[in-house]
Amino acid sequence: MALAIALIYSKTDWFSGARQRVSDFTMPLYWFTDIPGQVGRWSGDRFASKQDLQEENTALRTEVLVLKRKLQQMASLTAENTRLRQLLNSADTIEDRVLVAELIGVSPDPMRHKVMINRGSADGVYIGQPVVDAFGLVGQVVEVGRHTGRVLLITDSSHALPVQVNRNGIRLVAEGQGDLFELQLRFVSSTTDIQEGDLLVTSGLGQRFPPGYPVALVESVSHDPGKPFATVTARPMAELNRNRHVLLVFDRHVVSDADDSPAASPGG
């Protein structure tokens, strides 16, 4: 009996060793046959990771563009707020009543310097009303609707206004040339005391613009010995190519006349 048990244990050990040897022999075969599966799993993970990265990259690019747009809007709003503060600060120096208006349209004709504003007769706007910005004279109202108006800029080729040299009071006429950055002074005698850098302001003559509003700075004075008049050009003070908001200036006489009119009276 003991011998039988010993033989069983010895055979069991022999079978275990045999199985181990067979397993060691077949292991490379199993590993080799599993290569396609491993490659498939690796490829799937690889492609899935690449797709995830591409999607994440696209999302990040979109987010960057959105943030850049917001940053641009913030820069634009900051600049607009700065211009509005300048405009309102200039309004404090104007004795006449003023009203802020926003530009809502520009003439498509490059030779016609007209803009549309969001104020009209309902706001008391009238034809001939002066329009200024934080730096100088912009133009005058030439058309009035119920809620909108059109402003003719001082640089329009059909526009002329009486000015005077702030330094010495010499009176001249500044005409538009169809160029937002240039005015020309007509019939300036060669002996006239005018210099580059002189400030031109409204003279108040013609009863259109109140006196003293900045108009332009003299840029060049050219004398031709063969001509009786000098060629004088000036650059407008107003930022005509950048304005978004302007001030409508109410003349005291116009306001008082409107207040006294039957249409403006409470019982009218």
Say whether pLDDT at 139 is over 90: yes
pLDDT band at 250 (very low <50, low <70, confident <90, very high): confident
The model carries a pTM of 0.64
Output the pLDDT for position 210: 83
Output the pLDDT for position 263: 33
Average pLDDT, the chain: 77
What pLDDT digit, counting tens, does each position of 86-105 carry? 666 655 556 667 888 999 99
Say whether pLDDT at 29 is over 90: no
Portion of the chain with pLDDT greater than 90, in percent: 37
123 versus 13: which is more confidently predicted?
123
Sequence ranges of the domains in the chain: 2-33, 97-263
Output the pLDDT for position 107: 87
Angstrom distance (rounded) from CA 10 to CA 41: 44
> How much is the average pLDDT of 42-53?
65
Q: Indicate the CATH number for domain 97-263.
A: 2.40.10.340
